[in-house]
Amino acid sequence: MDRAAFCEEDLFEADIKDATVVTLYLLPRLNLKPRPKLWRELKPGTRIVSHDFDMDDWKPEQELQLDGHTIYLWTIPAKPSLEAK
């Protein structure tokens, strides 16, 4: 497999900076916890997919219905520029 790697690790300890897609299947109250790490460590354009649970006020770009389940899709946005004004 030279194009995909599946890692089953503690998300809060894992090195995720090179990921291009992150898939989450967490309960609603847990789905918000990794959000700061995702925003901090992932590059702009990285895709995040969540099965059945959204991320509260971070509205998904897409919601898909599939066999009675909802798939939520987001993309890490560009980092704000440090050059103010």
Mapping DSSP to helix (H, G, I), strand (E, B) and coil, where does residue 37 land?
helix
- Global pTM value: 0.82
Res. 61: pLDDT tops 70: yes
Interval 27-60: pLDDT, tens? 888 888 999 999 999 999 999 999 999 998 999 9
The letter for the amino acid at 83 is: E
What is the predicted pLDDT for the residue at 22? 92
**Which position has the token pair 């809060």?**
12
The three-state DSSP-derived secondary structure of 3-28 is CCCCCCCCCCCCCCCCCCEEEECCCH
Tokens of 17: 């900076």
- CA–CA dist 13, 23 (Å, integer): 16
Helix, strand, coil fractions of the chain, as percent rounded to 5: 15, 25, 60
| Confidence band of 6 (pLDDT split at 50, 70, 90) | confident
